[in-house]
Amino acid sequence: MSNEIISWIEISKKALINNINIMRSRVKPGVKIMAVVKANAYGHGLIETATIAAVNGVDFFGVNCLDEALRLRSAKIKTPVLVLGYTPLARLKDAVSHDISLTVYNAESINRLQETAAKYKKNARVHIKVETGLNRQGVEAQNLRDFLLRVKSKKNIEVEGISTHYANIEDTTEHTYAKKQVENFKEACELFNREEIAFKYRHTACTAAAILFDEVHFEMIRLGIGLYGLWPSKETKISAYERKINEFNLMPVMKWKSIIAQVKTVEANSCIGYGCSDFVTQNSKIAIIPTGYYDGYDRKLSNSGYVIIKGRRAPVLGRICMNMFIVDVTNIEGVKCEDEVLLLGSDGEDSVSAETLASKIGTINYEVVTRINETLPRIVTE
Ligand SMILES: Cc1ncc(COP(=O)(O)O)c(C=O)c1O
């Protein structure tokens, strides 16, 4: 590793390809895979991740916003891209001119898209999002027919897909609510058929749905967390186990590393860090890690996190600061300045998982990885 950086993310190409292949083996041949690379590819690095995925079996990219889509295009990634979030009316022209597909559910977007597409003499490609129970983005069932008639009347608009998103798959092992959403989705698709609106892809499945329910794979699945080698939740793991879906060896793609900036000894009963929130009861050796909450190392890990140095756990002492924190290395032999420190990931012997960090700070693994500051270098290994 470069000896010029103090905190960085390593992305395992091997793990990413493994996860794509595992998810690919879950679906029938012909089902497309959309890699959800929004939020800087869940913190893994948008371009670094997409560059690997684009040539290893991914058919589509899902991003949150147009700027993420345009970054993919600037990196010469030609794979189809769908914006999953909202695109402001004033930016629709950028989507049309760069052949970016858009998620739509508002009459305003449809009207402006038609004008824009006509002006550019192109077709605007849209995926109509239908509301089936999450009550987030989507056309409500009672408005769907009018919406479809509006779309049908706009000749420069091509319906590429129909989508919805599940409210309650990851949080439970009881999937009645999700099944009701599937029924609602199928009813919506029938309306498309009745109104003779052609589409290529129906897509509803996030990682948990794709793992658990074959019947929701339709023509495309949308994979986020699983691609990065993380399980959506404990409940999803239990549900998979109950369904005897045991072959899933997802490999975490990310490691977060830093180095030691200083090693020093402190006397017994010394306070450590801001607020004197910690102290040592014996003569101790401490190490300063130049990574902090600005980088995404959550302040709630104060006095409770741990890192791995030379294969051994070093507990966090005191508060996480903006740009650094302190660990206890009393029991680790030979620790010195610029030794490598593992903040997240496995070193083969021991690990700090995203789930461990999530449970310590009261959140989910998704948030742990996505909140790692975009400015840290992402380095592809293998
Ligand atoms: C619309 C949509 N589809 C798919 C996904 C991917 O979900 P997961 O990361 O659980 O696979 C997300 C993630 O938030 C999403 O918002």
36 Cα nearest atom in ligand 1: 6
Over 90: is that where the pLDDT of 349 sits?
A: no
User: For residue 19, how far is its CA from the centre of ligand 1 (angstroms)?
Assistant: 16
Looking at residue 84, its pLDDT comes to 98
Beta bridge partners of 83: 63, 102
For each of the domains in the chain, give its residue range(s) and CATH number, in order of start: 12-242 (3.20.20.10), 254-381 (2.40.37.10)
User: For residue 328, how far is its CA from the centre of ligand 1 (angstroms)?
Assistant: 38
State the average pLDDT over residues 228-257: 94
Over 80: is that where the pLDDT of 141 sits?
A: yes
- C-alpha closest to that of 376 among 42, 45, 31: 45
Q: How confident is the model at residue 2 (pLDDT cuts 50, 70, 90)?
A: low
The pair of structure tokens assigned to 231 is 């399980």
User: What percentage of the chain reaches a pLDDT higher than 90?
Assistant: 97
State the average pLDDT over residues 342-346: 98
Q: How far apart are CA 360 and CA 26, in angstroms?
A: 32
Over 90: is that where the pLDDT of 1 sits?
A: no
Q: What DSSP string runs through 294-329?
A: GGT--GGGTTT-EEEETTEEEEEES---SS-EEEE-
User: For residue 225, how far is its CA from the centre of ligand 1 (angstroms)?
Assistant: 8
State the average pLDDT over residues 300-304: 98
Parallel, antiparallel, or unpaired for β 124-129 and 101-104?
parallel
76-105, pLDDT tens digit by residue?
A: 999 999 999 999 999 999 999 999 999 999
Helix (H) or strand (E) holding 102: strand 101-104
By most ligand atoms within 8 Å of CB, the mutation choice from 36, 217, 221 for ligand 1 is 36
Looking at residue 123, its pLDDT comes to 94
User: For residue 377, how far is its CA from the centre of ligand 1 (angstroms)?
Assistant: 25
Q: What DSSP string runs through 8-69?
A: EEEEEHHHHHHHHHHHHHHS-TT-EEEEE-HHHHHTT-HHHHHHHHHTTT--EEEESSHHHH
Q: Does the predicted model carry a pTM greater than 0.95?
A: yes
User: What percentage of the chain reaches a pLDDT higher than 70?
Assistant: 99
Looking at residue 320, its pLDDT comes to 98
Over 70: is that where the pLDDT of 254 sits?
A: yes
State the average pLDDT over residues 149-166: 97
Task: Please work out whether the CB of residue 230 comes within 6 Å of at least one atom of ligand 1.
Answer: no
Round the average pLDDT of the chain to a whole number and report it: 97
Over 80: is that where the pLDDT of 264 sits?
A: yes
Looking at residue 110, its pLDDT comes to 97
Q: Is 274 a catalytic residue?
A: yes
Residue owning the nearest CA to atom 8 of ligand 1: 224
State the average pLDDT over residues 43-68: 98
Over 70: is that where the pLDDT of 195 sits?
A: yes
State the average pLDDT over residues 287-316: 98
Over 90: is that where the pLDDT of 382 sits?
A: no
User: For residue 166, how far is its CA from the centre of ligand 1 (angstroms)?
Assistant: 9
223 Cα nearest atom in ligand 1: 11
> Of these residues, 78, 155, 179, 274, which one is catalytic?
274
Q: How far apart are CA 378 and CA 5, in angstroms?
A: 11
170 Cα nearest atom in ligand 1: 10
Task: Please work out whether the CB of residue 165 comes within 6 Å of at least one atom of ligand 1.
Answer: yes
Looking at residue 3, its pLDDT comes to 79
State the average pLDDT over residues 216-240: 97
- C-alpha closest to that of 259 among 340, 315, 327, 378: 340
Looking at residue 246, its pLDDT comes to 78
- C-alpha closest to that of 303 among 326, 331, 332, 335: 326
State the average pLDDT over residues 261-280: 97
User: For residue 245, how far is its CA from the centre of ligand 1 (angstroms)?
Assistant: 21
Looking at residue 247, its pLDDT comes to 76
Q: How far apart are CA 60 and CA 220, in angstroms?
A: 9
Q: How confident is the model at residue 339 (pLDDT cuts 50, 70, 90)?
A: very high
Task: Please work out whether the CB of residue 206 comes within 6 Å of at least one atom of ligand 1.
Answer: yes
Residue 375, φ and ψ in degrees, nearest 5: -75, -15
- C-alpha closest to that of 36 among 226, 219, 170: 226
Q: What DSSP string runs through 238-258?
A: HHHHHTT---------EEEEE
Task: Please work out whether the CB of residue 292 comes within 6 Å of at least one atom of ligand 1.
Answer: no
165 Cα nearest atom in ligand 1: 1
Q: Is 38 a catalytic residue?
A: yes
> Of these residues, 32, 38, 129, 257, which one is catalytic?
38
Among 4-13, 245-254, 310-319, name the one with the lowest average pLDDT: 245-254
**Spatial contact of 20 and 7, defined as CB atoms under 8 Å apart:** no
210 Cα nearest atom in ligand 1: 11
Task: Please work out whether the CB of residue 84 comes within 6 Å of at least one atom of ligand 1.
Answer: yes
Angle separating helix axes 176-194 and 141-152, nearest 10 degrees: 30
Looking at residue 94, its pLDDT comes to 96
State the average pLDDT over residues 183-210: 97
